Amino acid sequence: MKPLARTALFTLALALGAGAAWAQSPAWPTKPIRIVTPYAAGGPGDDTARMVADGLAKALGQPVIVDNKPGAGGIIGADLVAKAPPDGYTLLAAANGTLINSLIRAKMPYAPGDLVPVTGVSASPSLLVVDPSLKATNMKELQALARAEPRGIFFATTGIGSTSHFSGELIKAALGVPLTFVQYKSGGESSAALHSGQVQMLSEVPSASLIALVKAGRMRALAVASDHRLAALPEVPTTVEAGFPTIRMTHWLGLMAPKGTPPAVMDRINAAVQSFISTPEQRQFIAQRNSEPMLGDRAAFTRFVDDENRRLGRLAQELRIRAD
């Protein structure tokens, strides 16, 4: 079956699923819905969360408001949703940090099970980038170079337990080399530090600005932390192709709801989101951010979240990564 035909059938199935969910929950929604984004406006994924809000509003016939609640590494916003009434009117724009916080912090204001997966939205793999002055053009050369350096490679992160830190730990373990972690406040600061020579390597979401720096020769991309290449940098191999398949890191965005939210309501939200991220316009919006739509029903997104929890949880336990 051709890809377009598969997409058409998938969209039709979603529409039928949405109708079934509506039949089971005809009174919902009757008022505005709030999507809590646990990061500042303009931060990573904020524009995608607003795209989701716009699509949901059109599909459900009610206003959908994006409410930025930054602080404590995303815990403040997540806690607000975890303790909200489980009625489908308060959702969380969840990402890697939503899982990682529960894995590395002994004290949390809510339990991991207080938030349940509803739908995936978009995902992109980390891009492993080095200073172009570094004498390494691939992962094997980086491994040899790092082994010859007593302190290893200076690697930028955005803090203990951040996605970039976990990426660095995966690289460190897979290559069997030392890395010296240097902490910055954001991915933008990390990129600036690499460009200015303060650090030699980073692993970040392939933003348009990062891709532009790579294409301009101001940074060198060694690998994509995934099993498939980036369309924006088709010449850059994956970590699987480079011989390091355990180095995998996905930057993702999805919606979660308070535990106890009616399944029919969550299925309707999933169907609505899946339907509009399958459209050519939204697929282009996501592709322009070097991401891919996370297509699938609620069960598929739940499996993804569970798999990431297990994989990152093992890493945190083995390396004793704690943020407390």
Q: How do residues 179-205 score in pLDDT, each as one tens digit? A: 999 999 888 899 899 988 999 999 999
Q: Are residues 53 and 146 in the same domain?
A: no
Q: Are residues 179 and 284 in the same domain?
A: no
Residue 266 in any domain: the answer is yes
pLDDT, mean over the chain: 90
Domain carrying residue 184:
127-224
Q: Are residues 70 and 169 in the same domain?
A: no
- Identify which of 295, 268, 271, 267 has the alpha carbon closest to the alpha carbon of residue 283: 295
In the chain, the DSSP E strands lie at: 33-37, 64-68, 90-95, 115-125, 127-130, 153-157, 179-183, 201-204, 220-224, 250-258, 292-293
Of the residues 224, 241, 266, the one at which a domain ends: 224
Residue 48 has pLDDT above 60, yes or no: yes
Q: Are residues 163 and 274 in the same domain?
A: no
The neighbour count for residue 195, using CB atoms within 10 Å, is: 14
Residue 96 has pLDDT above 50, yes or no: yes
Residue 9 has pLDDT above 60, yes or no: no
pLDDT computed for residue 269 by the predictor: 98
Of the residues 224, 243, 267, the one at which a domain ends: 224
Q: Are residues 82 and 194 in the same domain?
A: no
Work out the pLDDT band at 150, boundaries 50, 70, 90. confident
Lowest average pLDDT, out of 123-127, 158-162, 222-226, goes to 158-162
Q: Are residues 118 and 264 in the same domain?
A: yes
pLDDT computed for residue 257 by the predictor: 98
Q: Are residues 132 and 112 in the same domain?
A: no
Q: Please provide the size of the chain in residues.
A: 324
pLDDT computed for residue 39 by the predictor: 86
* Cα distance between residue 246 and residue 171, in whole Å: 8
Determine the average pLDDT of the residues in 230-249. Answer: 96
Residue 145 in any domain: the answer is yes
* Number of domain units in the chain: 2
Residue 13 has pLDDT above 80, yes or no: no
Q: Are residues 268 and 215 in the same domain?
A: no
* Cα distance between residue 83 and residue 98, in whole Å: 15
Residue 239 in any domain: the answer is no
Dig out the tokens for 263 from the structure.
């399944």
Determine the average pLDDT of the residues in 58-82. Answer: 94
* Cα distance between residue 140 and residue 15, in whole Å: 48
Q: Are residues 163 and 259 in the same domain?
A: no
pLDDT computed for residue 154 by the predictor: 96
Residue 3 has pLDDT above 60, yes or no: no
Determine the average pLDDT of the residues in 69-84. Answer: 93
- Helices and strands (H, E) in the chain, number of each type: 11, 11
CA quadruple 37, 43, 49, 50: dihedral sign: positive
pLDDT computed for residue 106 by the predictor: 86
The pTM for the full model equals 0.87
Q: Are residues 179 and 255 in the same domain?
A: no
- Identify which of 256, 253, 311, 8 has the alpha carbon closest to the alpha carbon of residue 121: 253
Residue 231 in any domain: the answer is no
Q: Are residues 208 and 132 in the same domain?
A: yes
Residue 230 has pLDDT above 60, yes or no: yes
The DSSP 8-state label assigned to residue 120 in this structure reads E
Rg (CA), the chain: 20
Residue 16 has pLDDT above 60, yes or no: no
CATH number of the domain that 115 lies in? 3.40.190.150
CATH number of the domain that 208 lies in? 3.40.190.10
- Identify which of 134, 127, 91 has the alpha carbon closest to the alpha carbon of residue 236: 127
Residue 122 has pLDDT above 70, yes or no: yes
Q: Are residues 74 and 54 in the same domain?
A: yes
pLDDT computed for residue 26 by the predictor: 58
Determine the average pLDDT of the residues in 114-118. Answer: 98
